[in-house]
Amino acid sequence: MQEVAITGIGVISPLGMDPQAVADSLLRKRSGIGALDLPGLGRPFPVAAVPGDFEEPFTKMERPFLDRIARMSVLAARQASEQAGFANYSTFSERAGVFFGTGRGGVMTEWEASRVFYEDVSRQAKPYVLMASMANAATSQISIRQQIFGPTATHTSACSSSGSAIIDACRYIQAGQLDVALAGGGEATLADIFLRQWEGLRAVAEVAEDPATSCRPFAKERTGLVLGEGSVFFVLESVEHARSRGVEILAFVSGYGIASDAHHIGAPHARGQVAAMRAALRSGGLTPADLDYINAHATGTRGGDPVEIAAIRDVIGEEAARIPVSSTKALHGHLLGAASAMEMLVCVLAARGRFVPATAHLSEVSPDCQGVVHVQETLRDRSIRYAMSMSAGFGGTNVALIVRSGDIG
């Protein structure tokens, strides 16, 4: 397939508010996870929160129309655009698009409105509630503020949402329908009701003595996932368009795959993950021997981690003795709809920074997660030509993305 250039990156995350801050956190294994104890929870929960309420640079009149997810996403998209050299896209805005992935949309606004309603059913809902809580609200806010008149799309396939959005953007560019796309995702659901919903699935990790170590993918003592929040955006361009502008190409999207495992609404199956990874390799004309790093979806759950390890072993075969595998969710938590974008960012940072991030807090690999090269300490000065990230979402949609370093070829 024709590669797609990455010329801008924006990130608002538990590991930092720009790509360099995230890279530094990964290199140092600095965790963004802490403990949250809200009145409605009954106990502390481990979460990967982003500090701040992001009132700036939004005006007092704008803020009610911007759910937390929209505020973070607008800022991440702006950051990516500025790095790519776009103050806005008005000069060719019909050749630009916005592609956004989220699992839940603006639910923080809706939850607060529901609280008010049940406290006093006679109170009228504020006029901004519906518009701020729409799944496509962040997509629309970015389009409006960046003056992008081309196609906009909001993808929701649970934890693979932003990966699906990135693939959609790449396809528009490869088809010649767009020159540029803002693509990524966001999530903000760290409220008591949503944490309790996950607790009902018995999927949430116990709070460790040191809360920062609560998420332990692949570990024998893993107890579950840690919910996170944030937003990650990329400016994607056709290679020709990027080179005509004379901008630095940070990396390339070299392959992608998407597949459903058609198995269970809440339990993963290896066949869908295998299909997505193989499709990504095929689309890039690559083989497992070309890969130098795999960022796994692994969330730290008992059921999910071994299924993914089995899928990775199936796909890479003999290369399982060579290709390092890690899950950085141990540091930034599970960003749900933004997870795919966050982990593709990790792959880009790893390739550009010549390091392989570790799976933090992995003192003993679980017997059911053996068979690959687990990274327990950061590997430095490593040549990474191609890196692949894997995402598996509730409902069975699996996404694999392959990036190539921008400083090669």
Decide: residue 260, CB within 10 A, 0-12 exposed, 13-18 middle, 19+ buried: middle
Instruction: Report which of 107, 189, 89 is spatially closest to residue 147, judged by C-alpha positions.
Output: 89
- The H or E element containing residue 227 is strand 227-228
Q: For every one of its 409 residues, what pLDDT tens digit does the chain have, with 9 covering 90 and above?
A: 899 999 999 999 999 999 999 999 999 999 999 999 988 788 899 999 999 999 999 999 999 999 999 999 999 999 999 999 998 898 888 899 999 999 999 999 988 888 777 776 666 677 888 889 999 999 999 999 999 999 999 999 999 999 999 999 999 999 999 999 999 999 999 999 999 999 888 999 999 999 999 999 999 999 999 999 999 999 999 999 999 999 999 999 999 999 999 888 888 899 999 999 999 999 999 999 999 999 999 999 999 999 999 999 999 999 999 999 999 999 999 999 999 999 999 999 999 999 999 999 999 999 999 999 999 999 999 999 999 999 999 999 999 999 999 753 3
- Going 71 to 74 to 80 to 84, the CA torsion angle's sign is negative
What the block records as the tokens of 74 is 């607008």
User: Which CATH number is 4-245's, of 3.10.20.30, 3.40.47.10, 3.90.1310.10, 3.30.365.10?
Assistant: 3.40.47.10
Helices (H), 16-148: 19-28, 68-84, 107-119, 129-133, 137-146
- Going 355 to 356 to 360 to 365, the CA torsion angle's sign is negative
Q: Would you say the CATH fold of 256-401 matches that of 4-245?
A: yes
What the block records as the tokens of 146 is 């960046």
β-pair partners for 238? 4
Domain 256-401 falls under CATH 3.40.47.10: yes
What the block records as the tokens of 167 is 């693939």
What the block records as the tokens of 331 is 């540091």
Active site residues: 159, 297, 334
3-state DSSP call for residue 162?
Answer: helix
Tally the residues of the chain.
Answer: 409
Annotated domain spans of the chain: 4-245, 256-401
Do 349 and 322 form a contact (C-beta atoms < 8 A)?
Answer: no
